[in-house]
Amino acid sequence: MTTKAETMTDLQACATSLINAAASASSAPPLTGTYPDLDVATAYQIQDLVVADRISRGAVLVGAKLGLTSVAKQQQMNVAEPCYGWLTSDMRIDAGTAVITAAYGQPRCEPEIAFLLGTDLEGANVGAADVLAATAMVLPAVEVIDSRYAGYKFTLPDVVADNSSSAGFVLGAQGISPIGVDLRLVGCNFYKNGQLIATATGAAALGNPASCVAWLVRHLAARGQGLKAGMVVMAGALTEAIAVAPGDTITAEFDRLGSVIVSCQ
Ligand code: OOG
Ligand code: MG
């Protein structure tokens, strides 16, 4: 038996296993259990199939997300490299709307800084300054992640194929222009049910949240892709993620950007 997912049939079978797990709020076996030599490039091809399935069901591509951009997250997940995934309209949770935890298998919340792009952004040499120039607004955000692997036990290719655990995202009601704001210094207090879980600043995400978006754009360029005006990009959790259940309230409080409060049902 092959140790790599090689044929289109293999890739589609991997994607289908993750799609079915997401649809039934259950789990799938890690792909690297079946294909120990699955590489990251192939995992992104599987991710494309997973995202295409959401779009075939009527969802629209609305943005992208970085994962594992902070030391806190890399240590929590035991994966030492960043990854990315795509956000679709069916993942958007309006501020003030409850997160329905039963829709997910093992939901966790995490505090992030989000970018709303004012212009298209693509290219192999894009840096943090280019990202800021293309950004209309930065917003406080909470991501609801949900791994399709039991216990969040995965390697980098596994999590990449799983659209980097994308499941839901909540943006603050208002954003601000990034002009004159040093995002590295934006403080974040993260609470569950009023208890302080962790604190961080923007610098926790690859030194600067804008550098995370630049990392994404350079990686997309290598695949002939880019980001479009109007897209939202989540720069990655600044702290560890926390498990949520019905009745929990999550608060991500940011200096300058404001707060996002998420009630779970
Ligand atoms: C992978 C997704 C990580 C982040 O912000 O670091 C992520 C996971 O932890 O399941 O979204
Ligand atoms: Mg995240």
Protein residue with its CA nearest to atom 8 in ligand 1: 165
Of the candidates 46, 37, 51, 54, the one whose C-alpha atom is nearest the C-alpha of residue 14 is 46
> What is the C-alpha to C-alpha distance for residues 148 and 168, in angstroms, rounded to an integer?
13
Q: Are 141 and 65 in contact (CB under 8 A)?
A: no
Mean pLDDT of the chain: 97
Q: Supply the residue whose CA is at minimum distance from atom 11 of ligand 1.
A: 67
Q: Mean per-residue pLDDT for 124-147?
A: 98
156 lines ligand 1 (CB under 6 A): no
CB-based burial of residue 226 (10 Å sphere; 0-12 exposed, 13-18 middle, 19+ buried)? middle
Q: Closest residue (by CA) to atom 9 of ligand 1?
A: 77
Ligand 1 pocket, 158 CB below 6 A?
A: no
When pLDDT is averaged across residues 123-130 and rounded to a whole number, the result is: 98
> Could you read off the pLDDT of 40-84 as tens digits, one per residue?
999 999 999 999 999 999 999 999 999 999 999 999 999 999 999
pLDDT confidence of residue 4: 85
Ligand 1 atom at minimal distance to the Cα of residue 82: 6
Percent of the chain exceeding pLDDT 90 equals: 98
Q: What digits encode the pLDDT tens for the residues 83-100?
A: 999 999 999 999 999 999
Q: Is 242 in the pocket of ligand 1 (CB under 6 A)?
A: no
Residues 6+ apart with CB under 8 A from 94: 170
Cβ of 252 closer than 6 Å to ligand 1, yes or no, is no
What pTM was estimated for this model as a whole? 0.97
Distance 126 CA to ligand 1 centre (A): 23
**b/e 89-124 (16+ beta carbons within 10 angstroms → b):** eebbbebeeebebeebbbbbbbbbbbbbbeeebbee
For residue 1, what pLDDT is reported? 57
Report whether residue 77 contacts ligand 1, using a CB cutoff of 6 Å.
yes
Mean pLDDT, residues 207-231 taken together: 98
- Is there an atom of ligand 1 within 6 Å of 143 CB? yes
Do the Cβ atoms of 103 and 21 come closer than 8 Å? Answer: no
**Predicted confidence band of residue 232 (pLDDT cuts 50, 70, 90):** very high
